[in-house]
Amino acid sequence: MKQVPPGRSVEVRVPASSANLGPGFDSIGLALGLWDRYVVTTSDSGGLSIEVTGEGAGDVPTDDRHLVHSTMQHTWGVLGVAPPAGLRIQATNGVPHSRGLGSSASAIVAGVVAAQALSAGLGLDDRDEAYAEWPAPGQPMPVDLGLAVHVSSRLEGHPDNASASVLGGLTVSWMPDGSGLDRGEQTVSARIALHRDVEVVVFVPDTQLATRTARAVLPATVPLAAAAADAGRAALLVHALATDPSHLHAATRDWLHQEARRSSYPETMELVDLLRSQGHAAVVSGAGPSVLVLSTHGSVEQVQAGSLAPRWERLVPGVPEHGACIRVR
Ligand SMILES: Nc1ncnc2c1ncn2[C@@H]1O[C@H](COP(=O)(O)OP(=O)(O)OP(=O)(O)O)[C@@H](O)[C@H]1O
Ligand SMILES: N[C@@H](CCO)C(=O)O
C-alpha cells in the first residue's frame, strides 16, 4: 500500500453551515461566512501533534480522538493509502460548537479534504498525474468534491451541513435510491445559485445543544399531512431562495422537526416566534439552538431580537460562494 509522503503541508479553510432552513430537514444546507482554518503537515517522525486555538480550544481532545484527525484516518482508509508516519494539525477555529452552525460537519469536511489533498500524486485517480511533483506553496489544490460530499455526509450522518461546507452557497442533497446514509448509498448534492438580494442574519446564544440530543426527541414517523406540507414548502423554499425572495416567510414553515424539538430549545422558539410574528423568515438553524433569518439586503437592519437581544449575539456572516478551500503551504 502506498503511504502519504512526509514533508507535505496544506492549509484548509472550511465554512460553517445552517441546515434544514425550515422544511428542508436533512436535505437543504446553506454555507455561512464563519470559518475554521487548519494547517496540516506530514513528517517522517512518528507521532501526532494537535494545537487548537479559537472555538473549542480546551474542550476538544488533542489526541487521536480529535475529529479532524480521526476523519483523516478514515479517509485514507477509503482512498486505500497508509497514513504518514508523523502528522501535525494546527487548528484556528471560528465556527462555534454545538450551536446548530455545523461545526462537526466543518471539522469532518476539513479532515476529508486535507486527507485527499495530502494524498495527491499517489496514482489514486486520473487527477493525480498533475501532481507527480508536489505543487509550489500558495497553489490551490483541487480535490474530488463529489467524494468529499459523500465521505463527509456518511461520517456526519446527514448530508445537509457537510454538502454546504464542501460546495458553499445553497445545497440540496439526496441519496439516489432514497435508502438513507446507513446503507452506503452515494450522497449527491446540487448547488443552487442564490438570488442576489438574499442576506442572512444569525442569532447565536451562549448555550449549547448537541445534535445527538436534539435528534433523540424526534418521532420515528410523522403524519402524512405534515410530510406533505413540508414537501410543498421545501419546493417553495428553493424557488424563494433562487428566484423570488418575497415567498421566504411562507417557504420557511415547517411541520416536521421544530415543534417536536420545542422543549429542547424553548428560548430559540421564543425568538423564532417573535421574528416570524414580525414577518421575518426565521427558522431554527440546524438542530439549534441558533436562529437563522433568511432576509434581503434591504431588510436586514430590521431583523432584530428586540427585548430578547441580551441573550443573543447577532451576526450577518454572508453566504460564501465557495466551500472548502485547500492551498499548498
Ligand atoms: N473544529 C472541531 N474540531 C474538533 N472537534 C469538533 C470541531 N467542531 C466540532 N467538533 C466536535 O463536534 C461537537 C459538536 O457537534 P454537534 O453535531 O453536536 O454540533 P454542531 O455540528 O455544531 O451543530 P449542528 O450539527 O446542529 O449544526 C463538538 O462538541 C466537538 O466534539
Ligand atoms: N438536519 C440535522 C442538522 C443538524 O445540524 C438536524 O436537524 O438534526
Residue 177, pLDDT score: 75
Nearest CA to ligand 1 atom 23: 100
In this structure, what C-alpha cell is assigned to residue 30?
446553506
* Ligand 1 contacts CB of residue 93 (under 6 A): yes
Smallest CA separation from ligand 1 atom 10, residue = 104
Out of 161, 173, 254, give the residue to mutate to test ligand 2, the one with the largest number of ligand atoms within 8 Å of its CB.
Answer: 161
Percent of the chain topping pLDDT 70: 95
Is the CA virtual torsion 194, 196, 197, 201 positive or negative? Answer: positive
What's the rounded Cα separation, in Å, for the pair 48 and 68?
12
Q: Is the distance from the beta carbon of residue 280 to the nearest atom of ligand 1 less than 6 Å?
A: no
- Our CA dihedral for 217, 218, 219, 224, rounded to 10 degrees, sits at 160
9-191+320-328 maps to CATH 3.30.70.1230: no
Each residue of 121-174: pLDDT tens digit? Answer: 886 665 555 566 788 999 999 899 999 999 999 999 999 999 999 999 999 999
Q: Which has the closest alpha carbon to 30: 258, 178, 240?
A: 240
Domain edges within the chain:
9-191+320-328, 194-315
For residue 93, is pLDDT > 80?
Answer: yes
Strand partners, 93: 36, 54
194-315: CATH topology is Alpha-Beta Plaits (3.30.70)
pLDDT digits (tens, 9 = 90+) for 223-251: 999 999 999 999 999 999 999 999 999 99
Atom of ligand 1 nearest to the CA of 156: 17
